[in-house]
């Protein structure tokens, strides 16, 4: 199984691009956020812990995410590939990811990083809040906090990842089709 990682700030269009790439590549789209929401909805032990963090806009602790990601890899081992959306988000998670991938004899193909300025992210967050039914999208303060957490934790993780995996960065401004074309050209 090949692993393709899509990363970028909240509201950058990662999920949208994952859905497009899923059709192109025939890989399974794994949204870490959706998996977390599923765990919370099913009120699993891990889901209850996640709820305490995510509803405040905080990142779920690395050890919990490592357990969830290991479960995701095991559930999808028969697939040709997965597109991973939303993991890793911290430097420790990059190391956890590398350890899990090595221990399961898998490989990471590429990391696609969608870059969008903060001002545009806030506009997109407001639009998503109007159309989504997610409780965590309704509070503008959580939008700002999520973006700030990305800048403090995930952006350094992306930089760190560059020493371990090929990371390609794309301009995330423009239409969905324009961004898709930029990404497709790299594949």
Per-position pLDDT tens, the chain of length 187: 999 999 999 999 999 999 999 999 999 999 987 888 898 899 988 888 888 887 777 778 888 889 899 989 999 999 999 999 988 989 999 999 999 999 999 989 899 999 999 999 988 888 887 777 666 667 778 888 889 989 999 999 999 999 999 999 999 999 999 999 999 998 8
> CA angle 69-73-76, nearest 5°?
135
pLDDT of residue 136: 63
**Mutual angle of helices 176-186 and 14-25, in 10-degree steps:** 50
pLDDT of residue 53: 82
| Chain centre to alpha carbon of residue 53 | 16
For residue 150, the tally of other CB atoms under 10 A from its CB is: 22
CB 137 within 8 A of CB 125: yes
pLDDT of residue 45: 87
Total count of residues recorded for the chain: 187
| Burial category of 110 from C-beta neighbours within 10 Å (exposed 0-12, middle 13-18, buried 19 and up) | middle
In CATH terms, the superfamily for domain 2-181 is P-loop containing nucleotide triphosphate hydrolases (3.40.50.300)
d(CA 41, CA 33): 12
d(CA 103, CA 58): 29
pLDDT of residue 132: 76
Dihedral-angle region of residue 32 (phi above 0 means left; psi in -120 to 50 means alpha; beta otherwise) = alpha
Cβ burial 23-44 (10 Å sphere, 16+ → b, else e): eebebbbbbbbebbbebbeeee
pLDDT of residue 135: 64
């Amino acid at each position: 199984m090949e692993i393709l990682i899509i990363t970028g700030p909240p509201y950058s269009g990662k999920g949208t691009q994952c859905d497009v790439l899923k059709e192109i590549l025939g890989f399974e789209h794994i949204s870490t956020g959706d998996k977390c929401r599923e765990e919370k909805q099913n009120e699993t032990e891990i889901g209850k812990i996640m709820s305490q963090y995510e509803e405040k806009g905080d990142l779920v602790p690395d050890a919990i995410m490592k357990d969830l990601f290991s479960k995701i890899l095991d559930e999808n081992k028969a697939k040709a590939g997965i597109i991973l959306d939303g993991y890793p988000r911290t430097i420790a998670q990059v190391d956890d990811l590398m350890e899990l991938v090595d221990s399961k004899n898998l490989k990471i193909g590429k990391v696609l990083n969608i870059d969008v300025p903060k001002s545009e992210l806030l506009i997109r967050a407001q639009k998503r809040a109007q159309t989504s039914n997610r409780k965590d999208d309704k509070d503008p303060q959580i939008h700002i906090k999520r973006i700030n957490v990305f800048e403090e934790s995930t952006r350094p993780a992306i930089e760190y990842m560059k020493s371990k995996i090929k990371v390609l960065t794309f301009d995330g401004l423009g239409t969905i089709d324009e961004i898709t074309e930029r990404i497709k050209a790299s594949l």
